[in-house]
């Protein structure tokens, strides 16, 4: 059951999730929601993952704006991992990815390759979340070796505008939505994570855990707005030193960086999870819709071009 908001914060009960054979099965997730001081919302749950399949295909051309650079894609790149969704079939799960099941009674899923928007090439992942606990997609990082737990990552994203928001009567108007997570065992580290403060569509970035136990000093201010343009998010993680950095449109948000932070509960990563999922106990109408493209993981910083 979802939490209730009081004095800028809400409490909830964390869920748990397990994955077998590349799919997930989850039980009961809910969240505690951000307060005006900039804390986050949590809920939803993590699990182990198995996913196999080929890499992304070549790309050509593309469309980008507001800090995102055209001309990316995977063709000719030597990143340790790269996905541009060009090898996928429209209206299907991307090649080499499997469903990462959400939580709750419905556990809805609407993650598929689409051609209506894209950053490069002619396809992207379209992700629609209209109820809490939406399923996402996952892929194994087993082939990356040590890079899985110490790497630079990058993803381009676009959120449909006007973005979905919550009324102030629901969780104080704070909508917590995850874009990218890393999984290891039964743990989930949310590396590209947002809390939107409705109805003005402003949002913060944060490093987050389902338990909300990462503590303070892992979030930005509410200084960003979803604007129907392509943007770039980058992260750096080093599980060994419990370190994290985050960049938005090529600029580091230094207040989010940390190292030697045991509360971050970093684990050896085995899979990446992509897609929108939110944790508040309400239906969004219209739904929260986003597109993701040109995902990459490497030993060196990838940048947004």
Q: CATH number for the domain including 24?
A: 2.60.120.200
pLDDT greater than 50 at residue 42: no
Instruction: Tell me, yes or no, whether 2 lies in a domain.
Output: no
Return mean pLDDT, the chain.
81
Three-state DSSP class for residue 254: helix
Give, in order, the Cα–Cα distances in Å from 76 to each of 71, 79, 131, 293, 297.
Answer: 11, 9, 39, 16, 15
4 is a domain residue: no
- Contact status, residue 34 vs residue 176, Cβ threshold 8 Å: yes
> Residues of the chain with pLDDT > 70: what percent?
75
- Determine the average pLDDT of the residues in 38-59: 35
Per residue in 156-165, pLDDT (tens digit) is 999 999 999 9
Averaged pLDDT, 65-69: 45
Query: Does residue 288 form part of some domain?
Result: yes
Is residue 7 included in any domain, yes or no?
A: no
Q: What pLDDT score was predicted for residue 71?
A: 60
Mean pLDDT of the 86-94 span: 97
8 domain residue, yes or no: no
Does some domain include residue 57? yes
Does a structural domain hold residue 243? yes
Q: How confident is the model at residue 29 (pLDDT cuts 50, 70, 90)?
A: very low
pTM: predicted TM-score of the whole model, two decimal places: 0.81
Percent residues over pLDDT 90 in the chain: 68
Is 304 inside any structural domain?
no
pLDDT at 43: 43
Q: What is the pLDDT of residue 54?
A: 37
Residues near 128 by beta carbon (within 8 Å), at least 6 away in sequence: 110, 111, 134, 276, 287, 288, 289
Residue 108 has a pLDDT of: 58
Report, as an integer, the average pLDDT of 125-130.
95
Nearest Cα neighbor of 64 from 55, 75, 73, 56 is: 73
Given pLDDT bands bounded at 50, 70 and 90, which one contains residue 199?
Answer: confident
Q: Is the pLDDT of residue 303 over 60?
A: yes
Position with higher pLDDT, 18 vs 103: 103
Range of the domain at 193: 13-298
Cα–Cα distance, 109 to 73 (Å, whole number): 26
What pLDDT does 109 receive?
Answer: 64
Number of domains the chain contains: 1
The predicted pLDDT at position 8 comes to 31
Close Cβ partners of 14 (under 8 Å, ≥ 6 residues apart): 29, 30, 42, 43, 45, 210, 211, 212
Q: What is the pLDDT of residue 106?
A: 55
Predicted pLDDT at 102: 87
Phi then psi dihedrals of residue 90, to 5 deg: -55, 140
On the question of pLDDT at 239 being above 60, the answer is yes
């Amino acid at each position: 059951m979802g939490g209730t908001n009081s004095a800028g914060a809400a409490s909830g009960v964390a869920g748990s999730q397990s994955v077998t054979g590349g799919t997930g099965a989850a039980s009961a997730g809910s969240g505690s929601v951000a307060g005006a001081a900039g804390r986050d919302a949590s809920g939803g749950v993590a699990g182990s993952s198995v996913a196999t399949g080929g890499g992304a295909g070549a790309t050509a051309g593309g469309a980008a704006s507001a800090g995102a650079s055209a001309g990316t894609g995977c063709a000719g790149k030597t990143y340790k991992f790269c996905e541009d969704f060009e090898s996928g079939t429209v209206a299907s799960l991307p090649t080499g990815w499997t469903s990462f099941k959400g939580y709750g009674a419905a556990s809805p899923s609407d993650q598929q390759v689409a051609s209506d928007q894209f950053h490069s090439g002619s396809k992207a992942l379209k992700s629609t979340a209209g109820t809490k606990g939406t399923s996402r997609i996952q892929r194994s990082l087993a082939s990356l070796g040590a890079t899985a737990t110490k790497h630079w990552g990058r993803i381009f994203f676009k959120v449909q505008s006007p973005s979905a928001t919550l009324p102030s009567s629901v969780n104080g108007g704070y909508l917590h939505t995850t874009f990218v997570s890393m999984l290891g065992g039964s743990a989930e580290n949310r590396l590209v994570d947002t809390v939107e403060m409705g109805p003005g569509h402003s949002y913060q970035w944060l490093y987050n855990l389902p338990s909300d136990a990462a503590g303070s000093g892992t979030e930005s201010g509410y200084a960003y707005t979803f604007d129907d343009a392509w943007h770039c998010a980058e992260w750096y993680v080093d599980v060994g030193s419990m370190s994290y950095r985050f960049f938005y449109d090529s600029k580091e948000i230094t207040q989010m960086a940390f190292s030697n932070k045991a509360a971050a509960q970093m684990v050896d990563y085995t899979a990446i999870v992509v897609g929108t999922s939110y944790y508040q106990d309400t239906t969004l109408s219209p739904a929260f819709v986003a597109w993701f493209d040109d995902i990459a993981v490497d030993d060196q910083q990838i940048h947004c071009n």
